[in-house]
Chain A
Amino acid sequence: MPAPITQIVNVRVLLFASYADRLGLESVRVALPALATVADALDHVRSLPGGQQIPPRPLCAVNLAHAALDTRLTEGDEVAVLPPLAGG
């Protein structure tokens, strides 16, 4: 029996505006287990210093489109955590 393959999903998480200010960074690379979701990436970011300032269910996007927290992530995805939008 071959050993079980532990797959890792590498994603980049982008932060903006007030969230970027609070964490003092605009992007972070995160390695997540296979089958990880947006919520898992978010959990990681919220565990960083200053990350508790991000609400539990913020707006998020994957690869330039709004995405629900249960969206499955794949290798190389660009995840964005979006503070309340204030355009217009």
Chain B
Amino acid sequence: MAFLTQSPIDLGALISGVQSASHGGIASFVGQVRDRHGGRSVERLEYSAYGPMAEEECARIVAEAETRWPVRIALQHRVGRLEIGEVAVAIAAAGAHRAEAFAACRYVIEETKRRVPVWKKEVYQDGTVEWVDPTAEAGSAAVESQSSERSG
């Protein structure tokens, strides 16, 4: 399965893909499109990617996590046009126990944000358009991660 997809992401399918009888804990992360950024109202997003490199980098990150912890990982990142509330990225990490599942899931989202060549163009309700630069807004990065997390 490709890591990048133009279609809506189905977390259930990712979880099904990593489940097995020996895995007692599955952690997941879902990042979704927020309606506000820097005090402005966002209408929609457009994700673009350096596709071939993004696929390679995602494969490397998953392989690293599966080497570092006894887990199986599923990862998908959406590209193209997304509306508010749509899932942009989803991860499922299955391990024998919750500790490795949580640790591996966290590793995969952090490395994905740091290394995978994906860009986000925000279209605001006032009609303006902007490429998002997380390096120019260091203070809000942590808030963004927390507010878009609904994993268990």
B-binding residues in A (CB < 8 A):
14, 16-18, 21, 61, 64-66, 80, 82-88
Q: B49: which A residues are within 8 A, CB to CB?
A: 87
A-binding residues in B (CB < 8 A):
31, 47-50, 52-54, 56-57, 77, 88-89, 109, 112-121, 131-136, 145
Whether A85 and B53, one on each chain, are in contact in the complex, defined by CB atoms closer than 8 angstroms, is no
CB distance from A28 to the nearest CB of B (A): 15
Q: B113: which A residues are within 8 A, CB to CB?
A: 85, 87-88
User: CA of A17 to CA of B121 in the docked complex: distance in angstroms?
Assistant: 8
| Number of A-B residue pairs having CB atoms within 8 Å of each other in the complex | 75
User: CA of A84 to CA of B121 in the docked complex: distance in angstroms?
Assistant: 12
Q: B54: which A residues are within 8 A, CB to CB?
A: 87
Q: A18: which of B56, B115, B119 is its contact (CB, 8 Å)?
A: B119
Whether B53 and A61, one on each chain, are in contact in the complex, defined by CB atoms closer than 8 angstroms, is yes
A14 — nearest CB in chain B belongs to which residue? Answer: B50
Q: B132: which of A14, A21, A65, A86 is its contact (CB, 8 Å)?
A: A86
CB distance from A32 to the nearest CB of B (A): 21
User: CA of A66 to CA of B113 in the docked complex: distance in angstroms?
Assistant: 14
Given A17-B121, A83-B133, A86-B134, does the pair A64, B52 have CB atoms closer than 8 Å?
yes
Given A80-B50, A84-B135, A88-B113, does the pair A16, B119 have CB atoms closer than 8 Å?
yes
CB distance from A41 to the nearest CB of B (A): 16
